[in-house]
Amino acid sequence: MFLIFSKLKKKTMDVYTTNLVVLKIIKHYQEEGQGSEVVQGVLLGLVVDDRLEITNCFPFPQHTEDDADFDEVQYQMEMMRSLRHVNIDHLHVGWYQSTYYGSFVSRALLDSQFSYQHAIEESVVLIYDPIKTAQGSLSLKAYRLTPKLMEICKEKDFTPEGLKKANIGFEQMFEEVPIVIKNSHLINVLMWELEDKSTVADKHELLNLSSSNHLEKSLQLLMDRVDDMSQDIVKYNTYSRNLSKQQQQKHQYLQRRQQENAQRQSRGEPPLPEEDISKLFKPPQPPPRMDTLLIAGQINNYCQNVKEFTSQNLGKLFMAEALQGHN
Partner 1 sequence: MSRFFARSDSESEESSSDDEITDKAPGATFKQSLLLSDDEEDTKRVVRSAKDKRFEELTNLIKTIRNAMKIRDMSKCLEEFEQLCRAFLKSKNIVDKEGIPPFYIRLLADLEDYLNQLWEDKEGKKKMNKNNAKALSTLRQKIRKYNRDFESEIAAYKENPQESADEEEEEKEPEDSGSSSDSEGEVSSKSFLKKKPEAPSEATKFLKTAKGSGDESSSSDEDDDDGDWSPSDTGSSSETSDKEEENALKRKRLVTFLKVQRAQDTEKPGVRKEERKKKPKQKEQIEEEAEEEGGWEKVNRGVPLVKEKPKMFAKGTEINTAVVVKKLNEILQARGKKGTDRAAQIELFHALAAIAAENNLGQGILVKIKFNIIASLYDYNPNLAAFMKPDMWKKCLDCIDELLDILFEHNNIFIGENIAEDSENLAVSDQPFRVRGCILTLVERMDEEFTKIMQNTDPHSQEYVDNLKDEGRVCGIVDRLLTYLENKGSTEEICRVYLRRIMHTYYKFDYKAHRRSLGLQGETKSEQDQEESKEESKEESKEESKGESEGEDSAVIMDRLCKFIYAKDRTDRIRTCAILCHIYHHALHSRWYQARDLMLMSHLQDNIQHADPPVQILYNRTMVQLGICAFRQGMIKDAHNALLDIQSSGRAKELLGQGLLMRNMQERNAEQEKIEKRRQVPFHMHINLELLECVYLVSAMLLEIPYMAAHEFDARRRMISKQFHHQLRVGERQPLLGPPESMREHVVAASKAMKMGDWRTCHSFIINEKMNSKVWDLFPEAQRVREMLVRKIQEESLRTYLFTYSSVYDSISMATLSEMFELEMPTVHSIISKMIINEELMASLDQPTQTVVMHRTEPTSLQNMALQLAEKLGNLVENNERVFDLKQGVYGGYFNRDQKGGYQQKQSYQRDQKSYQQKQSGYQRGGYRNQNQGNY
User: Residue 94 or residue 102: which is nearer to partner 1 going by CB?
Assistant: 102
Residue 251, classed as helix, strand or coil, is helix
User: Residue 208 or residue 244: which is nearer to partner 1 going by CB?
Assistant: 244
CB of 220 to partner 1, least distance (A): 7
Nearest alpha carbon to residue 43 among 64, 78, 18 = 18
Q: State the first-to-last Cα distance of the chain, in angstroms, to the nearest integer.
A: 48
Query: Residues 168, 171, 173, 174: what is their CA dihedral angle, to the nearest 10 degrees?
Result: -160
User: Residue 213 or residue 266: which is nearer to partner 1 going by CB?
Assistant: 213
Distance CA 16, CA 276 (A): 59
For 27, phi and psi rounded to 5 degrees? -65, -40
User: Residue 235 or residue 257: which is nearer to partner 1 going by CB?
Assistant: 235
> 269 vs 253, 254, 260, CA distance in Å?
20, 19, 11
For 135, phi and psi rounded to 5 degrees? -80, 0
CA 254 to chain centre: 46
User: Residue 244 or residue 258: which is nearer to partner 1 going by CB?
Assistant: 244
- Binding residues vs partner 1 (CB under 8 A): 212, 215-216, 219-220, 222-223, 226-227, 229-230, 233-234, 236-237, 240-241, 244
Distance CA 6, CA 8 (A): 7
User: Residue 271 or residue 283: which is nearer to partner 1 going by CB?
Assistant: 283
Nearest alpha carbon to residue 205 among 135, 308, 310 = 135
CB of 237 to partner 1, least distance (A): 5
DSSP annotation of 50 reads T
For 80, phi and psi rounded to 5 degrees? -65, -40
CB of 240 to partner 1, least distance (A): 5
CB of 216 to partner 1, least distance (A): 5
CB of 71 to partner 1, least distance (A): 33
Q: Do residues 298 and 106 make contact, with C-beta atoms less than 8 angstroms apart?
A: yes
User: Residue 171 or residue 269: which is nearer to partner 1 going by CB?
Assistant: 171
CB of 291 to partner 1, least distance (A): 15
CB of 277 to partner 1, least distance (A): 22
